[in-house]
Amino acid sequence: MKLPSHFDVGAASHTGSVRASNEDDYLIGALLPPDPELLLCAIADGMGGAAGGGEASRSALRALGAAVLDGASRQPMGARLQAGFEAAARRIAEQAEAVPALRDMGTTLTALVLVGERAFVGHVGDTRIYLVRDGACEVLTEDHAVREPDNLLLRCVGGGQATCSADLRELATQPGDRLVLVSDGVWSVVNQASIQRLAAAGTGLGAAEALVGAALAAGGPDNATAVVVVVREPQAGAPVQDLALPREERPSQGGGWPAPESLRPPRWPWLLLLLALVFVLQIVLWLGFGVDGWNWLRSQWGTGG
């Protein structure tokens, strides 16, 4: 994947040491000339169980990306970001209505768009964006959550709502800036001083891996995802950059990272289809042959034992 030449971007994600599945997801996308050049980075932290959370985060990122990475759009970027959040909410609501098992799914959604020397932030939930600049570290987002006694999201995309209003912010960037997106699986166990130190060193990919590695070293109680953008001095005629993709996740080896899941097809429709086929087979056996498939299987199992 090609990126604008004056950005170095890296991403890392890990299921963690406690969770059975990774409901975090992230998206990195770009527009290059002849379209107006821009870079989009976003993280979504899903909720609603393994299937619901993963589907919510994936769907939200796809809808957001389709709106922001529309080269034909002439909307101001703030309006374009808001339209992406609204599209994400509609898509999740439609899926939740179509599939009862996904009824309560929702996700955080935090996005960063870089255009020229301007950064645009859109945010709902408790994923964070940090700006690391000149030895200082600033949080650019507000957590929409109550942390005690249990983490409770006060705002999300989905969760039974078909609309969404994002916090929007615009700021100037400068060469040397590092913009860091992290899910709460990172910032809840890695303090701000450590985030500043780890994000400020090495390449974007190296910094992202270091941040997720620090979360794992702190116990990995949740899915952990980081995206780091390094802003460079623009150079006329500089070639576009290739995105350094993360390594595959290999938990048994204590290292490695999963490939981005944003463009993978969801698996839950196949599971629903399999269940439907089993149900239809049971009906055919009962109506056509008077055979109760479940009792027959139990009798065979008992005989075999």
Q: Looking at residue 253, what is its pLDDT? A: 38
pLDDT of residue 70: 92
What pLDDT does 2 receive? 86
Residue 238: predicted pLDDT? 67
Domains observed in the chain: 2-262 (3.60.40.10), 273-304 (no CATH)
- Residue type present at position 204: G
SS3 (DSSP) at 114? strand
Q: How confident is the prediction along the chain (305 residues), in pLDDT tens digits per residue? A: 788 889 999 999 999 888 888 999 999 999 998 988 999 999 999 987 656 888 999 999 999 999 999 988 889 999 999 999 999 999 999 998 888 888 889 999 999 999 999 999 999 999 999 999 999 999 999 999 887 666 678 899 988 888 998 999 999 999 999 999 999 999 999 999 999 999 999 999 999 999 999 999 999 999 999 999 999 988 776 667 777 665 544 333 344 444 434 434 566 677 788 888 888 888 887 787 777 766 766 776 665 54
pLDDT, position 99? 87
Please, are residues 85 and 63 in contact by the beta-carbon 8 Å criterion?
no
What is the signed CA dihedral for 182, 225, 126, 159, rounded to 10 degrees? Answer: 150
- What per-residue confidence (pLDDT) applies to 239? 66
Output phi, psi for 158, to 5 deg.
95, -135
Given this model, what pLDDT does residue 288 score? 77
> For strand 224-231 and strand 7-14, is the pairing parallel, antiparallel, or unpaired?
antiparallel
Task: Give the Cβ contact number of residue 40 at 10 Å.
Answer: 23
User: What is the DSSP secondary structure assignment for residue 73, as one 8-state letter?
Assistant: -
Name the nearest CA neighbour of 131 among 178, 171, 198.
178
pLDDT at residue 250 in the model: 38
Q: How far apart are CA 208 and CA 303, in angstroms?
A: 55
CA separation for the pair 205, 240 (Å, rounded): 17
